[in-house]
Structure 1
Amino acid sequence: MQSKTRIIVLHMKEIIYTVIFLLLGILLIVLLASMFLPGKNDKSSSAKKIYTPGVYTSALTLNNTTLEVEVTVDESHINSIRFANLDETVTTMFPLLQPAMESIADQIIDTQSLEGLSYPEDTPYTSQVLVETIQKTLEKATR
């Protein structure tokens, strides 16, 4: 009878290199799968959609003069807030209306929220009316 015993000599360096390359290969496959498989990114981006993109307006009446507050939004951001038809007679009658609107609009665009706004000391009530009108306009954008 002849013995068929074979002895294989492996160098420790070759085993370590093989394990490292196998781990890097598995890591590469996992990263590629997580980046390119559909579904995961679609769900996270749809959760951020708050508004229907567009330009929305609401009416504000001051002393028989109707002003339109115009809010421009995209899917997840408030882009601009302004008066649509502000003329000289209104700015003459209400000189602090435009500065109050600019102050509130800047705060809302920076924070993307109607919460925690600071109203100018000289126009607190006008600012509250403007915020209520902006809130009504944003409710139109969320429908």
Structure 2
Amino acid sequence: MHGTKIIVLRMKELIYTAIFAGVGIILLLLIVYLFVGKGRSEGKQDTADANERYQAGIYTKDITLGESTASLEVALDTDHIKSVKIVPLDESITTMYPLMEPAVKSVSNQLAAGVAPEEVELTKESKYTQQIIVDAVEEILEEQGASNQTVK
């Protein structure tokens, strides 16, 4: 009679075994999910970072115009330059530099259209004023660590 064996298990032992087996399976699934999920989310983050050329925000740079100082404000989105303006553009600046306002608008429109700062077309009438503005924009972009590539 050595063919049949009888095993006596208590109900308490079966419950403990089932609980430990369930916890073990859950832990194993959690570990697999963490390692597989982490690799996928890092790939998505790298793609998102590659699409972000600028750190969104409003940046200012003081520019000197003769004896007065004006503050150039550049609004950046993650993928393009939204606007450029002089704040506050008071009467003394507009009186002494009448081409300042149209120069800022021209540069702002070109940059908002996706033209890189180094490719902005300068007009004959306000070439030097526009160059001061473009230089200030480039300095702002360098300070915040943006890559200056044309947006497509």
Identify the TM-score tier after normalising by the shorter chain. 0.5 to 0.7
State which drifts further: 42-51 or 94-103.
42-51
Aligned to 2:48: 45
Equivalent residues, number: 107
For structure 2, which runs of at least 5 residues remain unmatched after alignment?
1-39, 147-152
Does residue 1:105 correspond to 2:111, yes or no? no
Deviation of 1:112 (Å): 4.5
Please, which of 78, 81, 101 is the counterpart of residue 81 of structure 2?
78
List structure 1 runs of 4+ shifted beyond 2 angstroms: 37-43, 140-143
After superposition, the C-alpha distances for 1:22-65 in whole angstroms (9 at most, x for unaligned) are xxxxxxxxxxxxxxx65544322211222222111011011210
For structure 1, which runs of at least 5 residues remain unmatched after alignment?
1-36
Q: Which has the higher contact order (CA 8 A, sep 6+)?
A: 1
Deviation of 1:125 (Å): 1.2
TM-score normalised by length of structure 2: 0.64
Q: Distance in 2 between matches of 1:59 and 1:39?
A: 39
Aligned-residue sequence identity (percent) comes to 31
Please, which of 77, 91, 95 is the counterpart of residue 92 of structure 1?
95
SS at match of 2:120: coil
Does residue 1:129 correspond to 2:132, yes or no? yes
Q: Distance in 2 between matches of 1:94 and 1:49?
A: 36
Check the 8 A contact 1:78/1:112 in 2, yes or no: no
Distance of aligned partners of 1:41 and 1:112 in 2 relative to their CA distance in 1, 3 Å threshold:
farther
TM-score normalised by length of structure 1: 0.67
Aligned to 2:67: 64
Q: Which amino acid aligns with 1:56?
A: Y
